[in-house]
Amino acid sequence: MAAHRSRRRWAYARIVPWGVVGVLLLALAGPGLSWAAPYHRSVVEVGYATAIPGAAPGPTVLPVNLTDAPAFDPNNLTAPASVNVTLRLSNTGAYDHTFTLSSVPGRAVLKPTWTPRQVDQFFQNHTPIVNVSVAPGATVVVNLSFAPSQALNYYQYVSVVPYQFQAGMAGVFYVSGGSPSYNLTESTTDSLSFLPNELAVLNVTHFPVIAHVVVTNTGTFSHTFTVSPLANYTISVANYTSFFFTNTPLISLPVPSGAGSTVAGNLTIRGPGVYEYICLIPGHFAAGMYGFLYVNLPPPPPPPAPSTALIQGWLLGIAAIFLGVALVLAFAVSYIGRRPREPTPVPESPASPH
């Protein structure tokens, strides 16, 4: 009896410590597993990785390594909008990582101070553009294409494995504006003017839009072609230097001196309106070296040409009135008579009685 009981107590003594260790391990691993679970999708090919459905493998291939630092290498990417892009995501470490690309524009929307639960909640509220889990040693290929409306924005990418983003596993994807869809030609003259001084980009269906501009110098002075970033804003001659200091121009091309020299560049236009462009060389703007770029607005109609008629209509009208008055007066004069009446002939008096 006593021997039996002591053997049972001995068995409990061996099992209980292992049980305690097991419960502790589960308690430690549990939260991590529960956070990670939603993102460890077994979708290994494309995931829900397409900003535009049906994106094909692109001419632009961007390799990204996911490391145990933990970090992305590189931690910044750039691709144009409306172009198919292929991401090659390689996990070079020994731990799981995810490549999760936020759909909310901004460089610092996701904060490293967030808890894994907050990161999780963010991506439940804002479905990511890309969300793939990459196992150690694996490479995942993702095809995507950014819409034109996403251009000129930054999108963060992070690993949502708990505490990896918080430890610095993050990067920023910049979507550039794509290829130019409009061509503009402009020239500068020694009479300190732009020729033409009105440019137009019309029938734009979506912004931002890129225009390619070629500026040719027809004279010997050097100039600049500097476009205001503000729509419907008239630049003042008095403070244009400080204006462009605080408002980065859409483009500022130095036009080299010498007839025939040419310079070209792209400018990105975010919306419709009238954008003034000027020459920054001191004195040139004041002398009249400016023009206007009309975006989705037709240039104003030219002022009516001066009449080439020798005699204007209104002048004829007034002349006719004066002529009429003169005729009436002449008629009245001739009828009534103004000249002194002819003296009434004195009746011949009879011979004086004298």
Judged by the rule CB under 5 A, the positions of this chain that interact with Cu ion are 223, 279, 281, 284, 289
Closer to Cu ion by CB, 97 or 223: give it: 223
Decide: 241 and 303 in contact? Cβ < 8 Å: no
Which lies closer to Cu ion via its Cβ, residue 115 or residue 239?
239
Smallest distance, Å, CB 215 to Cu ion?
A: 11
Identity of the residue, 253 or 279, whose beta carbon is nearer to Cu ion in the bound complex = 279
Beta bridge partner(s), residue 73? 65
Residues 6+ apart with CB under 8 A from 76: 171, 172, 173, 174
Find all residues with CB under 8 Å of 147, minimum gap 6, and list them: 51, 52, 81, 82
- Closest Cα partner for 83 from 131, 143, 127? 143
Minimum distance of Cu ion from residue 284's CB (angstroms): 3
- 3-class state of residue 11 by DSSP: helix
Beta carbon of residue 233, minimum distance to Cu ion (angstroms, whole number): 20
H or E stretch at 20 = helix 2-36
CB of 63 to Cu ion, least distance (A): 46
> Which of residues 65 and 217 has its CB atom nearest to Cu ion in the complex?
217
Q: Which amino acid is at 307?
A: S
Q: What is the DSSP letter of 150?
A: G
Structure tokens at 63: 């390799």
> Which residue number, 127 or 262, has a Cβ lying nearer to Cu ion?
262
- Min separation Cβ 194 and Cu ion, Å: 9
**Beta strand pairing status for 290-295 and 198-201?**
parallel
Which CB atom, from 87 or from 281, has the smaller least distance to Cu ion?
A: 281
Cβ at position 169, least distance to Cu ion in Å: 50
260: left (phi over 0), alpha (psi -120 to 50) or beta: left
Extract the tokens encoding 273.
Answer: 């309106």
